[in-house]
Amino acid sequence: MEKAQTNLEDMIEDLPNKTLRRDLFMDMMKSLVDALSYSHSNRVTHCDIKPRNILIFQNQSNPKRKIFKLADWGSAHVMKAQEEKIKESSFTYTPI
């Protein structure tokens, strides 16, 4: 298993102005949307998304870019058919 360089919480804490560059933010969001889209298409919800669970790796093919991965699936939940119907009819917003 590869070793993460850091996680989002620690990375932001180490930044002078506590703000990610736009390109890093966009790469991170795309990675998170891809991960959640894949897991939700397989009826799995993460249930514990937070900066500490977003791991950051060095991109070997492009050292100026980072690779973001969603970690700690220990609280994940497999949705039952009945829950999928509820999911389709409701929207929940959880601030980060």
Q: Give per-residue pLDDT as tens, 55-81.
A: 999 998 998 899 999 999 989 989 887
Query: At residue 95, does pLDDT exceed 60?
Result: no
In 3-state terms, what secondary structure has residue 41? helix
Residue 40 CA to residue 49 CA, distance in Å, equals 14
**For residue 82, how many C-alpha atoms fall within 13 Å in the half-sphere facing its CB?**
0
What is the pTM for the complete model shown?
Answer: 0.77
Q: Two tokens at 52?
A: 């500490």
Residue 8 CA to residue 21 CA, distance in Å, equals 13
